[in-house]
């Protein structure tokens, strides 16, 4: 049971120890109080996969497993058959179809018709999907979902395995569909 004197004593001890704690924290704080040294583990969360696939992680996946992962994580936004969902708020883009439409008055931009590199698909899915839990899929899950999308778009054979070696070799239908940007100021960003 606590008495008034015991509570006052405990509070006095806490107040007496406060300057020591604040002093210890101040010594560990970098100049100006900005940040702290970044660990390799923290940096591992940030990555970019360029078109040639440098930095793709170990692991692999195929369309069969990808169909299951897609059904569990992607259908609410992108539809059961990758046809997209136009509903506001939860809707997601159509993922396949649209080849040959980009130069028409009604272009259909999909992974199949627009994206120039399959490695970009891995990068995007790994970073941003599923919409309600971005970054939650394992590398094998991402390879599998990518294989499923590419197989449904008939870009790869449904039995092919996607990994760090095979994915950069996939030739997307629109790989050569982009024009170099001639604006001189773009040199500042390369």
- Two tokens at 179? 């024009």
Q: Is the pLDDT assigned to residue 190 strictly greater than 70?
A: no
- Two tokens at 9? 């004593």
Q: What torsion, rounded to 10 degrees, do the Cα atoms 98, 103, 109, 110 define?
A: 40
- What average pLDDT does range 176-189 have in this prediction? 80
- Show the 3-state SS of the chain: CCCHHHHHHHHHHHHHHHHHHHHHHHHHCCHHHCCCCCCHHHHCCCCCCCCCCCCCCCCEEEHHHHHHHHHHHCHHHHCCCCCCCCCCCCCCCCCCCCCCCCCCCCCCCCCCCCCCEHHHHHHHHHHHCCCCCCCCCCHHHHHHHHHHHHHHCCCCCCCCEEECCCHHHCECCCCCCCCCCCCHHHHHHC
Over residues 45-92, the pLDDT tens digits come to 788 899 999 999 999 999 999 999 999 999 999 999 999 998 888 789
CB 143 within 8 A of CB 61: yes
- Does the pTM surpass 0.85? The reply is no
How many other C-beta atoms are found inside a 10 Å radius of the C-beta of residue 20?
Answer: 9
Over residues 138-170, the pLDDT tens digits come to 999 999 999 999 999 999 999 999 999 999 999
More confident residue, 130 or 6: 130
Q: What torsion, rounded to 10 degrees, do the Cα atoms 82, 87, 93, 99 define?
A: 70
Rounded CA gap, 47 and 68, in Å?
26
Rounded CA gap, 99 and 110, in Å?
8
């Amino acid at each position: 049971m606590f008495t008034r004197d015991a509570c006052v004593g405990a509070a006095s001890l806490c107040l007496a120890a406060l300057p020591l704690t604040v002093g210890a924290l101040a010594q560990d704080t970098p100049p100006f109080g900005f940040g702290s040294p970044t660990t390799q583990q923290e940096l591992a969360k940030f990555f970019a996969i360029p078109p040639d696939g440098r930095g793709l992680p170990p692991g692999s996946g195929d369309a069969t497993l990808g169909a299951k992962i897609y059904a569990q994580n992607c259908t609410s936004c992108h539809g059961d058959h990758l046809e997209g969902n136009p509903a506001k708020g939860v809707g997601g883009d159509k993922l396949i179809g649209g080849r040959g439409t980009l130069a028409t008055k009604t272009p259909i931009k999909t992974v199949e018709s627009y994206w120039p590199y399959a490695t970009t698909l891995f990068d995007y899915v790994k970073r941003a999907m599923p919409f309600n839990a971005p970054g939650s899929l394992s590398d094998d899950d991402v390879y599998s979902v990518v294989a499923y999308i590419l197989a449904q778009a008939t870009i790869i054979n449904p039995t092919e395995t996607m990994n760090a070696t095979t994915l950069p070799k996939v030739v997307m239908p629109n790989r050569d569909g982009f024009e170099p940007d001639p604006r001189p100021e773009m040199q500042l960003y390369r």
